[in-house]
Structure formats: C-alpha cells, structure tokens
Amino acid sequence: MSGPAPAGILEHVGIRLIRGAAPSSRRLPAVIPRSTPLELAEIAWLSEGVSREAALAIPAVAACRNLIVGAACQMGLYRYRADERLPPGTLLTMPDPSMTWPATLGGTVDDLIFNGRAYWLVLQRDAEGFPTLARWTPFVDVTPQTRSTGGSWAELTGYRVAGLDAIVAVDELVRFDSPLPGVLLTGARTLAGAIATEDAARRLASVELPAGVLKNEGAELSEAEASDLIARFQASRRDNGIAFLQGIDYTREGLDSNDLGLTDSRSHYATEIARLLNVPVAMIGASPSGNASALLYSNLEQQLAILVSSAVAPYLRCVEETLTAILPRPQSVAFDVQTFLRSDPSAAADYATGLYQAGLIAVDEARAFLGIPSPAPSPDLTPGKVV
C-alpha cells in the first residue's frame, strides 16, 4: 500500500493536519451501507428511547462494557513485518497528543460496542502519506455524507465532523467497521425493558407500602371515620402491642425485599444483557437461571478465555485489520492476547520455563515475560512482554 503524497494543510485544535491528494490511479469509490448504523440507531431511539447514556445506567450494561473495554486496554498492541517486530510508532502508542492510548482505544471499542462503527480523524501524515497521528472522534460527532446509487450501498463522498466547518474528505477519517451490529440497534427492546424494570424497582423502593390491610365487614364508614379507625388501630398497636377489632378484618401483607426490588426480573434482564454482549454470565454475577457457573479462582482463566474469544475478539480483530490497512505493506498490527490470558502466576512460570527448556527463548526473555527485570536490561526487552 503506497500512501498519497501530502498536499494541503488544515489546522485542527492547534495540531497540523496534512491532507493527502487523491492518487492518480483510478480507485473504486468508497461506499457505505445505505441504512447506516446511525440511521438505524435513530430509528431504535424513536421507537424505544434508549441512548448510550441510558443504557450505561443499567448496571449489567456498564459491567459488560467495562469488561470488554478493560480487557482490550490491557493488551499490548504490536507492529510486525512478517515475523519481525517493529517499533510501534506514535500511531500505536499515542496517536493523539492530547489523549492517552488507553483513552483512545477505549473510546474506539466503546463506539464499536454501542454503534457498530468508530472513527479516527487523521491529524498528521509522514512524508509518504501514511498517518502518524490520529484522534478518536466520537461516533455521534460524525455524519457520513453519501450519494445514493440505487442499491443497498451508497457512495461515500465525505464526512461532516462536529467542530469543523468544511466537509472532511473520506481519506481523512479512519473508519472502523465492527463485524457485530451495534448494541443500541439490536438490543433496543431488551435495553428498554431493563430500564423499565429498574424504574419500577426505584418506584417501589421510594413508596411506603402498607404492612397490612384493614377490611371493613360491618356498616359502611365515611372517609373521616375510616381514617380515625386506622389512626386508633395504629396507636393501640404502638402503645399496647395489641389492638381490638370489631367488624374489621386485619390482613398482614406478605411483601419482602425481593418483591420490592423486583429481584427476579432484574436478574433476568442482567442475564439477557450478558447474552446480548456475549459476556459470560458468571463474570457479571447475573442470574443463575442463565446457566451460569460460579466464578472461582479455579475457572477464572477459562472464563477469561471465553470472554476474550466471544466478547472481545471481534472488536480486537476490527481494530487490527483497520490499522493494518493504513500501514505500509507488508506491515501489520496484532494484540498480545496470550499474555493477558496467562493471568495465573504459576501457569505463566510453567509457560516461560517450557519455552526456555525448548530453546525458543533466552533467560532474559523469560524474565521479561514474568515481569522480572534483568540484571543488565536490554532496551528491546520490556518486563511483562515476550520479544
């Protein structure tokens, strides 16, 4: 992949942005599905009234989102040329001078989870036209500009980005397309039901319900007489512990905290949300009725593996392939998933020892993998990473 030669300069938030001229060779026009995730999310918003902020107010959604984003942010991102590891460069360590890499990656994965698409605005290119600096731009701040082609796809002509007056060229935004549809679209009804359940639990928690009911079995009483009867009944029970009833039947209400908190219903929605986000039910403490096993130290590594393979991997793959596409060929990027999964110190030590005994790594590399600094550290060996 050869980058376009730089031509034209745009100032953006004090950072020099170099625009690339269109290549001389003919290319296929950039396209986008005509029913974009933004349009579909707007339809879901109108029908169910669920936004990202409202969804995150649900504890189960926040827990699943934090697990996915947190796992992604803990993994190292490496740059390769075939089997040779290269210096990551600013694009993979701090693409935005005003934002840390975890914040950039977290915002990107968050947009992929909820909206199915994320964007980076190119801030700077190198002499060959490849991006070296880019800023994560929230999904809600980007509006694709399209021209209908009469089919399921529309030609993408540019973007309108909040804070910029001019239309941003297609090449000036890095577009991350998730293989999974956004949760705000596919889970709109589930999220709306969970929000309604949470609201109902709040109403029951804030309203004082009667501990019992007095049923009149005699002559009809006026409202004032009924209020006086209740007051005298309460006073008698409070002062004497016993109240005398004549022509009145007292029934105690059997309400407990589970009824008031709608525990079963809320647990049901927590399980459904875990399924919606492909997160193991046990990792967010959802209902056992979701066939969840207990989260124990003995099965933590297995649960983490399921979390990464089912919930995190699609977004990691999206980021890897998108960043690989904007690097010079044959360079590629990949997340260090294996180091994250080896969270058991004993298992990690056995793994490093096995690699050393097989002659695949040296002692310094084994120490670096285990996070033990070498007596004479090498600049190429970072504790906690395998080189």
Domains and CATH numbers, the chain: 1-205+258-336 (no CATH), 210-254 (3.30.1120), 344-387 (no CATH)
The backbone region for 76, taken as left when phi is positive above 0, alpha when psi lies in -120 to 50, beta otherwise, is beta
Tokens, residue 331: 């360079």
d(CA 311, CA 294): 19
H-helix segments, the chain: 37-48, 52-56, 59-73, 101-115, 183-186, 188-206, 223-240, 257-261, 263-276, 300-306, 313-325, 337-341, 345-357, 363-369
Tokens, residue 285: 């403490």
Residue that the structure tokens 């936004």 belong to: 51
Query: Bridge-partner residues for 174, per DSSP?
Result: 120
- pLDDT for res 209: 54
- pLDDT for res 287: 63
- pLDDT for res 292: 56
Tokens, residue 33: 């599905």
Query: Bridge-partner residues for 79, per DSSP?
Result: 86, 333
| 127 φ/ψ angles, rounded to the nearest 5 degrees | -65, -25
In this prediction the pTM is 0.70
- pLDDT for res 6: 36
Mean pLDDT for each 10-residue chunk of the chain (387 residues)? 37 36 46 53 51 90 93 87 80 89 94 94 89 91 85 83 85 91 88 84 65 74 82 77 72 60 76 89 69 57 78 92 89 81 68 82 75 57 44
- pLDDT for res 367: 75
Tokens, residue 151: 């089919």
Q: Which residues neighbour 350 within 8 Å (Cβ) at sequence distance 6 or greater?
A: none
b/e for 160-197, b at 16 or more Cβ within 10 A?
A: ebeebeeebbbbbbbbbebeeebbbbebbebbbbbbeb
Residue that the structure tokens 């929605």 belong to: 269
- pLDDT for res 11: 35
H-helix segments, 132-209: 183-186, 188-206
Asked if 260 contacts 266 with a C-beta cutoff of 8 angstroms, the reply is no
Among 149, 118, 141, smallest CA distance to 29 is for: 149
